[in-house]
Structure 1
Amino acid sequence: MSLSPSMNSGTSSLDEARRALGKRLRELRQGAGLTGVQLAESLSWVGSKVSKLENGKQTPTEQDIRAWVAATNAEDQAAGLLATLSNLEQQHAEWQRLLKAGMKSHQLSLSQRDEKTQLFRGFENTVIPGLVQTPEYARARFAQVVMVHKIPNDINEAVKQRMQRQEMLYRPDKRFHLIITEAVLRYRLVGADIMLGQLDRLMAISLMRNVKLGVIGFQTQYVTDPRHGFWLLDNDLVRIETYSAELNLRQPQEIELYSRVFEQHAAVASYGAAARAIISRVMEDLAAGTEDPVV
């Protein structure tokens, strides 16, 4: 699926990297004195594949690169090209590849990055951030991942690992600034009873000393539109989740852009008692809607 306009920074960076890799492949082909048709025939590929790879319209596989350098007598370039491909794959990690070893495995990989991070800044406009989800909410979210991506069901293990990740909320060397929209509190992504428990959890989270929880109410005038959620890990990485992939952006201009957007959201968010008032109001509305009708 195509990404929304809000993903332009991430996708442009990805496209540039893919085009740069394609340009290098073209140079190897031309250096070998081969036309695109000749190279495709020697590798038993359809003719359009060479063009797509060289123009950055398709990402090569490891096998593609090994076959390419062999056909162009450039085996000494394989290591560098494969390293470039690895960086490209890390930047745009498709969920099918990330989750093929299970959701627990992905949660473990996130924990490894968590250990290195001191400041977590997260903005969410759709779902409760994973770091503050209740087990029940997390279970429902993982069930939806299984349904959408048709992957093996290891929900129990994934929930356990997510809860273990949340232990870092209590570490004094970690700081968290989380911003959510009121829509996050009202979307019916889980049952009402689960959501009430989740909202109660947020009330407690808002009182934690090293967690700053902001809520942007429906009546708030935004500075920048809340197009999609994202996470800033220190000043080193921006992580964005789409339906198809996890984007990991590391270029300084991308980090600066998302830092600026985050601060614009933070400037209009409500904190402390004001944030809890919004959460409480949503809890009251939700509870009223779950009461049995009077006969």
Structure 2
Amino acid sequence: MPISGSSSVQAARQVLAARLREMCKDAGLDGKRLAQACGWHPSKVSRISTAKTSPSADDIRAWCRACGREDRTDDLIASLRAVEGMWIEWRRMERAGLRRAQEAVLPLFERTRWFRSYSSWLVPGLIQTYGYTEDVLRAVQRRRVEIDDVADAVAVRMERQRVLYEGHRRFAFLVEESVLRNGLGEADTQLEQLEHLLTVGSLPNVSLGVVPTRLSRSRMAVEGFWIYDAAQVNVELVSGYLTLTQPSEVRAYADTFAMLADMAVYGAKARALITAAMDSLG
């Protein structure tokens, strides 16, 4: 598994490594004897046991077998899968196409009651129009996905937007003003999207803020992120998809969201910025 700089990911990897070290100790084995039993170089045992290298499922099976604890194999592999799920490269997440990647987050959306989303580059997916989503996912597919299932992926994302209208959910969306003037498609698509922002922003359970472009900002734009209730943050990076659950990291993103929210404008002022962007499209 690629190394992520997130302390959530690293902490989870260290917990798994500690469980493997404990098993080795309980079996009365040192690193050299464990390596011999597994047919490995001793350095591999050292890297795994210190969380410098993430084990594979086969590594865990061999480790448990050498320690005489094959009964713990399934549990430890499940822990490994959980760690791997915290940091996923796009090529791995999307190797079966974009539709499955869109479907994978639906359970998270369905159980969340308070959504906070900040974007510095695109309109957030939950408030995108069909045409805007199609342009975004088509650009992704051309750049990094061999399978062309864009139409299916767009349909899944559109269906997911029902959470805006179901149940007692709250939504707070923040976008940089530049998002209003940046688009991947034609002017008509961007205009339709901006009109949709005016509509969505009027929903009683939705707060839509625009962070104006200005000098002397107290907080510069950051990577786009979503906060789900107060339990999880997801960040879309150039190389992959990061999931954060460690309370200190969730709080850091919540504090950043609050700071950016204080800089944003709402209501009539936000609508004025959106309308100005629409006018610039002619």
* Amino acid paired to 2:222: R
Q: CA deviation at 1:160?
A: 0.8
Q: CA deviation at 1:155?
A: 0.6
- Counterpart in the other structure of 1:192: 187
2:50 to 44, 48, 55: 55
CA RMSD of superposed structures (Å): 2.5
Which 4+ residue blocks in structure 1 deviate beyond 6 angstroms?
none
5+ long unaligned stretches in structure 2: none
| CA displacement, residues 153-176 of structure 1 (integer Å, 9 cap, x when unaligned) | 111111111111112222362221
State how 1:67-216 maps to structure 2 within 5 Å. Answer: 67-171=62-166, 173-216=168-211
Distance across 1 between alignment mates of 2:146 and 2:33: 40
Contact kept, 8 Å, 2:122 with 2:183, in 1: the verdict is no
- Counterpart in the other structure of 2:238: 243
| CA displacement, residues 196-237 of structure 1 (integer Å, 9 cap, x when unaligned) | 222222122222222110000111654333221111111221
Worse overlay, 207-216 or 82-91: 82-91
Q: CA deviation at 1:47?
A: 5.3
5+ long unaligned stretches in structure 1: 288-295
Q: Secondary structure at the match of 1:228?
A: coil
* Amino acid paired to 1:70: R
Worse overlay, 203-212 or 46-55: 46-55
Report whether the alignment pairs 1:254 with 2:249: yes
Q: CA deviation at 1:238?
A: 1.2
Contact kept, 8 Å, 2:8 with 2:245, in 1: the verdict is no
Distance across 1 between alignment mates of 2:39 and 2:79: 25
- Counterpart in the other structure of 1:292: none
- Counterpart in the other structure of 1:286: 281
* Amino acid paired to 2:213: F
Distance across 1 between alignment mates of 2:245 and 2:194: 33
Q: TM-score scaled to structure 1, two decimals?
A: 0.84
Distance across 2 between alignment mates of 1:209 and 1:157: 30
Q: Secondary structure at the match of 1:53?
A: helix
| CA displacement, residues 18-62 of structure 1 (integer Å, 9 cap, x when unaligned) | 123223323434555555455445444455433332222222222
* Amino acid paired to 1:144: A
Aligned residues: 281
Distance across 2 between alignment mates of 1:112 and 1:285: 39
Worse overlay, 14-23 or 267-276: 14-23
Distance across 2 between alignment mates of 1:147 and 1:120: 30
| CA displacement, residues 50-104 of structure 1 (integer Å, 9 cap, x when unaligned) | 3332222222222221111112323233243223213212322333333334322
Are residues 277 and 221 of structure 1, via their aligned partners in 2, closer, same or farther at CA, if it must alter by over 3 Å? farther
| CA displacement, residues 131-159 of structure 1 (integer Å, 9 cap, x when unaligned) | 01111111121122223333411111111
2:9 to 9, 14, 23: 14
Worse overlay, 231-240 or 69-78: 69-78
Contact kept, 8 Å, 2:95 with 2:145, in 1: the verdict is no
Q: TM-score scaled to structure 2, two decimals?
A: 0.88
Are residues 150 and 109 of structure 1, via their aligned partners in 2, closer, same or farther at CA, if it must alter by over 3 Å? closer
* Amino acid paired to 1:230: F
Are residues 230 and 50 of structure 1, via their aligned partners in 2, closer, same or farther at CA, if it must alter by over 3 Å? same
Are residues 281 and 267 of structure 1, via their aligned partners in 2, closer, same or farther at CA, if it must alter by over 3 Å? same
